[in-house]
Amino acid sequence: MFENNSVSFKSESKTNDNFIIKCAVRDLEVKRIISSAIEHHAVVHTCEEMRDQYGVALDYVNLDEKGNVDIKHLEELLTSSGEKTLVSLMHINNELGNILDIDRVAELCQENNALFHSDTVQGVCHYPIDLEKTRVDFIVGAAHKFHGPKGVGFAFIRKGIGMKPLIHGGSQERGSRAGTESVHNIVGLDEAFKCAYENLEADTVNVKGIKHYFIEEITNAIPNIQFNGESGDLDKSTYTLVNTRLPVSPEKALTLLFQLDIKGIACSKGSACQSGSGKGSHVLTAILPEEEMLKPSVRFSFSKHNTKEEVDYVVGVLKEFINS
């Protein structure tokens, strides 16, 4: 996957997203960034800092009502300026599960001499990514997303792109970051990576079946449930998550996550990074009407370790809560 290119290991994907975006501005003379309003905060906040601190132009590509990137608008943005541009769009949205046409975006970036960074955390080890075919310049991954250890991730940098370190004082990671490597975590990432791709086909069928079963059962139990983004469509979203919008009052919604938690159900109202946060989802705020934001949205994730019996339990708890 990474032959003849550069891979560096850092604490996790947020660090790598920061490293790539900041170094693109500092070392690669990027004067303009094109991104979207529903990227991970590691990208959104870093792009905003580049705009506010360094005067980099920041444009957001249009989204449709489901949160999909408007490819035509992206093409218009790319052709509207001759400035050195970095496009930063995630492969799979971590809250909605929407899948970007990463090949088409890579083609547009090549045609317009733009650099392409994609936060591929949700896709690595769940979908094959052929970096010889898909000419993305930078991708990132996090081991815990494919059953590896927490606290370690990688950045892929296309061969020939020179970037200097943000942290100085040592020559670790080919000089990209000073600091002693967490070797045991890197070994764990490597083993989890190999295991995930060796079992990719079987695990995909298994987990996709669990998500399909969840959608069927929750729809039967709660007919007026809604799915945010494309998460209810197995063809347009990742098989590893679903984002539901439940038909309960704003007052009752306040206790939903608490009730699920005491029943032993792990879920979140946004990304896993926001679980426990009192703030609403910036992703849902960007695509939903204000009145729909009053309904509670809950994201459930699936893995090869989940079972249909667990789905039955979750659906039963949700049905009981809504009908109580």
- Show the domain range for 176: 6-197
Helices (H), 222-293: 250-253, 256-262, 282-287, 290-293
* Structural domain contains residue 135: yes
8 A C-beta contact, residue 108 and residue 74: yes
> Residue 138 in contact with residue 115, Cβ under 8 Å?
yes
Res 159: pLDDT: 86
| Claim to verify: residue 208 and residue 192 sit in the same structural domain | no
Q: How many domains does the chain have?
A: 2
Residues 118 and 148 in one domain: yes
273 is catalytic: yes
3 state SS for 46-99: HHHHHHHHHCCEEEECCECCCCCECHHHHHHHHHCCCCCEEEECCCECCCCCEE
> Within this chain, do residues 47 and 140 fall inside the same structural domain, yes or no?
yes
DSSP state of 236: T
DSSP 8-state class, residue 17: H
Q: What would the pLDDT profile of 231-256 be if each residue is shown by its tens digit?
A: 999 999 999 999 999 999 988 999 99
Q: Compute the distance between CA of residue 185 and CA of residue 150 in angstroms, rounded to an integer.
A: 8
Could you tell me if 207 and 102 lie in one domain? no
280 within a domain of the structure (yes/no)? yes
Which pLDDT tens digit goes with each residue over 166-206?
777 777 777 677 677 889 999 999 999 999 999 999 999 99
Per the domain annotation, does 289 fall within a domain?
A: yes
Name the active-site residue from 23, 125, 195, 273: 273
Are 17 and 107 found together in one domain? yes
CATH number for the domain spanning 253: value is 3.90.1150.10
- Same domain for 119 and 259, yes or no, is no
Judge whether 1 lies within some domain.
Answer: no
| Whether 180 and 164 share a structural domain | yes
Q: What angle do CA 90, 95, 98 make, to 5 degrees?
A: 55
Strand stretches in the chain, DSSP E: 6-10, 32-35, 57-60, 85-88, 115-119, 138-142, 153-157, 226-227, 241-245, 297-301
Q: Please give the average per-residue pLDDT across 214-243, as a whole number.
A: 98
